[in-house]
Structure 1
Amino acid sequence: MAVKRSSCRIALACLLAALPGMVYGEANYPPSTSITGISFDMTTLRNVVPGNGVEADESDNWAITWADDDHQYASFGDGQGFRTTNTVRGSLGVSRIEGDKLDYSAFDVFKVGVETGGCGGKSVGILAVGSALYMFRNGTGSGGSAFRRTELYESTNKGKSWSFTGVKWVNNNFIGSDGFFSPSFLQFGKGYAGARDEFVYVYAPEETTSVDTDTWNVQIPGKISLLRVPKVSLTDQSTYEYFAGLDGAGNPLWTTDINGRLPAFEDPVNGIMRTSVSFNAGLGRYLLITQQVNRFRNGNFHIGIYEAPEPWGPWQTILFENAEQAGPGLNVGKKTVFWNFSNKWLSPDGRNFVLVYTGPGADQWGTVEGTFLTPP
């Protein structure tokens, strides 16, 4: 089912925005001229892993990265993972995904949490750089604890064990700001091959105000900060820089002063929450996906997909849609959680993709193929 913009859809969005209790509007950024539409092939939706027949029906998030061993590694939260090593429920875990999109297999390699005698927390940020893996641990449990603390961990044995690097952000250290939460890494190719330069880029949603009484929900106004760090010094916090806007020629400005940061992505009306960003080498575009409007179905949960020629923009809209309507059966649970594109499973021309996400239920591993529509 192809998702296309139309004057009818825009008119409907305006009508709904005018109804009592509705707080969202149209997409904040103009329609993309490079990627003019997106379609999901729902016949390819998989919850059961084809290679070894396992499933993860009580685990969420599933941020994914492509490592130098040609496997992908995905972080998950609040569950048992694929249960390939044990059935212990963990707060935070990592699984290894082997193979191509048609016959891949999945294996758990790591779990921590109260039930496993470890620490809690979640992650939507995992990255392979060379032979190492890096992962952001957010908070100490579920929900709003992610607002309070972010820590960076490193693994030198492909996710089997992790060490704290000393890099951390605690929100009460932010002068005059509530701070950011649940950062994610910009994904490039295998082992970070094909990166634009010698930096690693990090996208961090800002904590502002929840759309409802549940603090762990979409934040309005929506702001996403951008950080960069030399890939050779990921574990040295003094080398991190923050995006501080553009100069008169449109070039990015960077500062080491955390309080000088400015958002690289904004949506004051529809808000933002957990976010993923990847570089589509075939199309030469940076793709950003985020939760918007509300993360619950009864609050009109939305998925927003955007593209830009640079990590900092300017952004244009590929899709701004209720998650149930984006594809028939794409999201049937009571909430949305997290979406990201697999760069390993991306076609060479960049047009055919695999979305790795929590779905279609509320806490599941899911993959679905799709196609970007581009101008002739």
Structure 2
Amino acid sequence: MRIIGLTISLCAASMTVAEAPYPPSPVIADMVLDWSTHRREALGSDNWQLTWADDDHQYGAWGDGGGFGGTNSDGRVGLGFGRVEGDWDNYRGSNVWGGKDPENPAQFEGKSWGTICLDNVLYSWVIPDVPDTGGARDHYRYIQWAWSTDYAAHWTKADWRWWREDNLIIPTFVVNGKNNAGARDDYVYSYFIRPQNPNVTHASFGLKVHQPGALFLARVPKDRIFVGRDAYEWFTGLSAGQPTWGPLADKKPVFENPEGTGWCVSVIYNPGLQRYLLATEHTISHAGVMSLFDAPEPWGPWTTVQYWTESDRFGRTRPGSTLDWADNVFFFSFAPKWFSEDGRTFTLVFTGSGSGKNNDSLNTVRGTFQLRSPP
């Protein structure tokens, strides 16, 4: 599909990877956004990693706002789940769980940057606002599963957790198309951020880039998701080019960046390009200093698609967009339903820390990947 409208090449390939930790992508030469398609909804509500359910709608979590039709204060919940119906150019949103005039009330507080639909059930990684173990607000304290069998209307939490002391914080899933139909096998894969140190707290560290950056990769058979911690295997390295798996204590990073990883991350499989796309911050948070990497497998080898810097931030120029802007983007992902069949055309979903203004919202913009060679 060809984008019609005003576009901008964000960065020449030679500049894009100048400070990146991995070599240039052998498949994707550049990423071009059509800022005339920039749309903003749910002002005051951030995050919005989307999954594509079997009912053909997309679902995702927001934080600290009223969701669709709300504001930073009107309908505000710490955690809400919304439904996005329609195509990229005519979508509409509804508050399923929490927010302004919701279909169902929120049941608990927290945050999530990882939701998938698998065999008609929604699963979400949930972290706390104020932990039930006591103490102040702390997104880093622990991680829990939650699931919904009625498209986000009601959620149930697992009775076991991952802990900061496991050297793990704020995970996300690999999103694999509609109802996870594009999964490479019968495992569910999740990436966990390695904290800057295993004693880090929200109060002492804040929501900053963790340096040096590293991600851990876990997998679990899809029919054993809720069995417990021992059902999970962790990436422990490569042997003859193939991944090896072991217990939590033996885990090794699957992705590293000396300049850091953000405190949230997104990963999705692009079936048209047959590439996994991983997005996170580096160097500094809440500043549009983003990065996008790709790989043929969940464990790599990773290469660089785009590497924004403090002097060339995400959204630095946006010809065609008249929406208010600030350099505060900290998270982006891809809408799984809105990839073109060949994978070259996409809709980027991004959010920022605008304190109820500008990018503190659900933002979408259409774009294309320019390829070096066919996938």
- Residues paired across the two proteins, number: 340
**Contact 2:80-2:98 at 8 Å conserved across structures:** yes
2:38 to 45, 48, 62: 45
| Partner residue, 2:43 | 57
Matched, 1:217 2:203: no
Report deviation, 1:264: 0.6
Matched, 1:158 2:151: yes
Q: Deviations over 1:83-102 (max 9, x none)?
A: 37x94210000000001111
Report deviation, 1:140: 2.6
Task: State how far apart, in whole Å, the 1-side matches of 2:143 and 2:55 are.
Answer: 27
1:68 to 26, 51, 54: 54
Structure 1 residues 213, 265: CA separation in 2 closer, same or farther (over 3 Å shift)?
same
Task: State how far apart, in whole Å, the 2-side matches of 1:336 and 1:213 are.
Answer: 22
Structure 1 residues 319, 141: CA separation in 2 closer, same or farther (over 3 Å shift)?
farther
Structure 1 residues 199, 6: CA separation in 2 closer, same or farther (over 3 Å shift)?
closer
| Partner residue, 1:232 | 223
- 1:344 is paired with a residue of what secondary structure? helix
| Partner residue, 1:181 | 169
Task: State how far apart, in whole Å, the 1-side matches of 2:20 and 2:137 are.
Answer: 26
Structure 1 residues 35, 117: CA separation in 2 closer, same or farther (over 3 Å shift)?
closer
Task: State how far apart, in whole Å, the 2-side matches of 1:117 and 1:370 are.
Answer: 34
Report deviation, 1:231: 1.1
- Percent identity, aligned pairs only, is 37
1:337 to 314, 330, 333: 330
Matched, 1:121 2:110: yes
Task: State how far apart, in whole Å, the 2-side matches of 1:167 and 1:197 are.
Answer: 25
Matched, 1:242 2:234: yes
1:366 to 363, 370, 374: 363
**Contact 1:32-1:316 at 8 Å conserved across structures:** yes
Task: State how far apart, in whole Å, the 2-side matches of 1:101 and 1:228 are.
Answer: 31
Structure 1 residues 6, 98: CA separation in 2 closer, same or farther (over 3 Å shift)?
closer
Report deviation, 1:246: 0.7
**Contact 2:214-2:260 at 8 Å conserved across structures:** no
| Partner residue, 1:278 | 268
| Partner residue, 1:81 | 67
Task: State how far apart, in whole Å, the 1-side matches of 2:308 and 2:327 are.
Answer: 16
| Partner residue, 2:5 | none
Q: How does 1:81-100 map to 2 (within 5 A)?
A: 81-83=67-69, 87-100=74-87
Task: State how far apart, in whole Å, the 1-side matches of 2:65 and 2:204 are.
Answer: 25
Task: State how far apart, in whole Å, the 1-side matches of 2:118 and 2:186 are.
Answer: 11
Q: How does 1:248-327 map to 2 (within 5 A)?
A: 249-255=240-246, 257-297=247-287, 301-322=288-309, 325-327=313-315
Paired letter, 1:151: Q
Structure 1 residues 168, 309: CA separation in 2 closer, same or farther (over 3 Å shift)?
same
TM-score between the two structures when normalised by the length of structure 1: 0.84
| Partner residue, 1:357 | 350
Return structure 1 stretches of 4+ with deviation > 6 angstroms: none
Paired letter, 1:105: R
Report deviation, 1:373: 0.9
**Contact 1:165-1:235 at 8 Å conserved across structures:** yes
Report deviation, 1:168: 1.4
Task: State how far apart, in whole Å, the 2-side matches of 1:266 and 1:137 are.
Answer: 24
C-alpha RMSD over aligned residues = 2.5
Task: State how far apart, in whole Å, the 2-side matches of 1:7 and 1:117 are.
Answer: 47
- 1:186 is paired with a residue of what secondary structure? strand
Report deviation, 1:325: 3.7
**Contact 1:60-1:337 at 8 Å conserved across structures:** no
Structure 1 residues 139, 277: CA separation in 2 closer, same or farther (over 3 Å shift)?
same
Structure 1 residues 320, 104: CA separation in 2 closer, same or farther (over 3 Å shift)?
same
2:97 to 110, 129, 132: 110
- 1:147 is paired with a residue of what secondary structure? coil
Report deviation, 1:358: 0.9
Task: State how far apart, in whole Å, the 1-side matches of 2:280 and 2:106 are.
Answer: 32
- 2:81 is paired with a residue of what secondary structure? strand
Report deviation, 1:8: 6.3
TM-score between the two structures when normalised by the length of structure 2: 0.84
Q: Deviations over 1:137-192 (max 9, x none)?
A: 112349971211100001011001100122411223x3xxxx11110110011111
Gapped runs of 5+ residues in structure 1? 14-25, 48-54
Structure 1 residues 144, 303: CA separation in 2 closer, same or farther (over 3 Å shift)?
farther
Task: State how far apart, in whole Å, the 1-side matches of 2:185 and 2:345 are.
Answer: 25
| Greater Cα offset, 356-365 or 196-205 | 356-365
2:372 to 349, 372, 375: 375
Report deviation, 1:320: 0.4
